[in-house]
Amino acid sequence: MAKETVQKHSEFEELVENPDALAQRLTQSEDFVKKNKSKLLGVFAAIAALIVAGFLFFNYRTTQNQEAQDAMFQAVYYFEADSLNKALNGDGQYKGFLAIADEFGSTDAGNLANFYAGVALLKTGKFAEAQQHLQKFKSDDYLMQARAYSLIGDALLEQGKNKEAADQYMKAANHNANQYFSPQYIMKAAVAYEEDGNYKAAVEAYDKIVRQYVTSAELNDAKKYKARAEALAGGAN
């Protein structure tokens, strides 16, 4: 490394002290540019194209997101007014959640539209469709994401897919587990396990609340239901 540094330093001194050597080096650089002009221009053009494309894509997404947000405002209004058909399908002037999710899926508003559509579809009894939209929803907000997992569990439970529902509830409970919401999701998982006839898994879920969430509102029910599930598990054996 030291030898290489000394060599580079000597070359630098030669260029500074010897104008002819410097002129020769510059001439070599110019020759390289002339010989490779088309290639270099191609590289620069490609870089410029990527920058322009990136800017246009960002601007497109911003525009799309604004348009989606404008439509979302009206759809959310209908959702909160419990006008679920208009919330889902629009009113003729503004798009509903389904169209927003389909047309603007890559935007933040489109992502949120999937969540709202899932909830609205659950309320209208379209459980398989609700599941599909909720599975498309992704959020960095751990409370929202856990809630989406739980709602997927609800959709699965309504379809008679008890084990899958229980697994989804546990996924919600374990997603940044906390004292406030995790016990609720575990309780729902335990009920789903019981619906599936898996009383052993139900006992384990109730026991998790008893051991890990001693201050939760679900504690007393968990103790009571655990005893019942244990009896049923014994009977099943």
Q: What is the DSSP string of 9-35?
A: HHHHHHHHH-HHHHHHHHHHHHHHHHH
Q: Which CATH number is 139-237 given?
A: 1.25.40.10
131 closest CA partner among 147, 117, 103, 152: 152
At 36-65, the pLDDT tens digits run 445 445 554 555 555 555 454 455 456 677
At 5-33, the pLDDT tens digits run 434 444 434 433 444 444 444 444 445 44
At 155-211, the pLDDT tens digits run 999 999 999 999 999 999 999 999 999 999 999 999 999 999 999 999 999 999 999
Count of H-run helices and E-run strands, the chain: 12, 0
Q: Which two tokens stand for residue 74?
A: 């009206």
- 3 state SS of 217: coil
In which band, very low, low, confident or very high, does the pLDDT at 97 lie, cut at 50, 70 and 90? very high
In which band, very low, low, confident or very high, does the pLDDT at 71 lie, cut at 50, 70 and 90? confident
Per-residue burial over 204-234, b = 16 or more CB atoms within 10 Å of its CB, e = otherwise: bbbbbbbeebeebebeeebeebbeebbebbe
- Ramachandran assignment for 126, one of left (phi > 0), alpha (psi -120 to 50 degrees), beta (any other): beta
Q: Which two tokens stand for residue 24?
A: 């020769």
- Ramachandran assignment for 96, one of left (phi > 0), alpha (psi -120 to 50 degrees), beta (any other): beta
Q: Which residues lie below 8 Å from residue 151, measured CB to CB, with a gap of 6+?
A: 118, 119, 122, 130, 134
Its pTM stands at 0.74
Q: Which two tokens stand for residue 157?
A: 């439970």
Return the sign of the alpha-carbon dihedral for residues 81, 82, 87, 93.
negative
Please check whether residue 78 is in contact with residue 87, taking contact to mean a CB–CB distance below 8 angstroms. Answer: yes
- Domain range summary for the chain, segments of one domain joined by +: 139-237
